[in-house]
Structure 1
Amino acid sequence: MKLPNGITGFYNSENKPPNVDGKHFNQVCVTALSQLGGEVLMFKEPQYPTNFYNAKVKLRNRIFHILLNEHYPYVAFASAVEYEKIRFIDEEAELVKRLSSFYHVLPSSELNLPVILRQASKKDILQNDNEFNQAELEQIAYWKPKIIGEIIFNFWD
């Protein structure tokens, strides 16, 4: 998976990433869950320091989160969302199918891939395929995420 410019929420003025429509995401979640007998319990817009929308949902007596990156249409599921720690999970195919009509649903296997850094002339260089701008590379060097999901859905300030 190639990570696009600005996915972290950090950018230089000439590299500003797009924004996704949070109201549309909320409506898609409400519709998909109601069709499956579930419900949205809480909906949060990205707020400092997060870079993602967070829908806490209930489906078949399970409570989990549906996350959407605020800049790109990447969705993930999580069993827990805590400051700087998200536990990514996979969800049932029927929910994935309904969300996939609008978003790229990322499997936990991709989100849990390690971030690969190598040391070169006293500086860490990110090896994962990406289009990051300099501001993002600086944040990655500072926060040192361990998995790809921590880059796409982060709590960086």
Structure 2
Amino acid sequence: MDSSQVTLRLEKGVTGFRDGSDPPVPATDPRACRVAWYAAARAARGQVEDFTEQEYPQNFHSAAISDREGIHIALFHAHCPLVAFVGGRRYWYTGQFQEPPAWAGVLGDVGFVVLSAARLLSPLVESDTSALSAAEWRQIEHWRPETLGATLFNSWD
């Protein structure tokens, strides 16, 4: 079965929000993201242009590799080992997700889940959101993201 047809379960904390009484949301170590990105650059026979750590209110790190094909920009989720590829740098993302390049598989080899554009552009209602906290639902109701990608990679405050 095509993995894009499998329902994705969003775990508690994936939006970066929590209730004050909840434990802290998990964190993806920026160093691990950086190491994975350098491995990807080697696989791409390219060069790391930059790696920018997450800054509030964004819940993602961003990075760029240049190779013969051009510039590839990835978002590394700051709370889960998820990666998305986008067409350009923005403050937040809604529909700008792109299919990962062929060499992005190396990110999966080191523990990251590389999400397809089809998955990221799918409606949020097609994902299993049953584990999300009340705080996360308040943010979703306020910001009204239409896609999974806009929910996962957000700049909500």
**Fold equivalence (TM over 0.5):** yes
The TM-score normalised by the length of structure 1 is 0.86
- Equivalent pairs, count: 146
Q: Tell me if the contact between 1:113 and 1:147 (Cα under 8 Å) persists in the aligned partners.
A: yes
Aligned residue for 1:149? 149
Q: Partner letter of residue 52 of structure 2?
A: K
Out of 66, 72, 86, the position equivalent to 1:78 is 86
| CA shift digits 1:73-128 (9 cap, x unpaired) | 111111123123351111232x2221111201111111000123xxxxxxxxxx74
Aligned residue for 1:31? 39
Greater share of residues in strand: 1
Counterpart CA distance in 2 for 1:5 and 1:15 is: 10
Q: Secondary structure at the match of 1:85?
A: coil
In the alignment, structure 1 residue 110 sits paired with structure 2 residue 119: yes
Counterpart CA distance in 1 for 2:50 and 2:82 is: 19
Q: Secondary structure at the match of 2:22?
A: helix
In the alignment, structure 1 residue 91 sits paired with structure 2 residue 90: no
Which stretches in structure 2 are left out of the alignment for 5+ residues?
Answer: 1-7
Which range moves more in the overlay, 9-18 or 97-106? 9-18
Aligned residue for 2:11? 4
Counterpart CA distance in 2 for 1:154 and 1:96 is: 22
The TM-score normalised by the length of structure 2 is 0.86
Instruction: Provide the identity percentage.
Output: 32
Structure number with bigger Rg: 1
Which range moves more in the overlay, 42-51 or 6-15? 6-15
Counterpart CA distance in 1 for 2:97 and 2:13 is: 21
Offset, 1:53: 0.9
Aligned residue for 1:59? 67
Q: Secondary structure at the match of 1:80?
A: coil
Which stretches in structure 1 are left out of the alignment for 5+ residues?
Answer: 117-126
| CA shift digits 1:33-77 (9 cap, x unpaired) | 124211111111110110011112212241121111111111111
Offset, 1:132: 0.6
Offset, 1:3: 0.8
Q: Tell me if the contact between 1:15 and 1:133 (Cα under 8 Å) persists in the aligned partners.
A: no
Cα root mean square deviation, aligned: 1.6
Aligned residue for 2:3? none
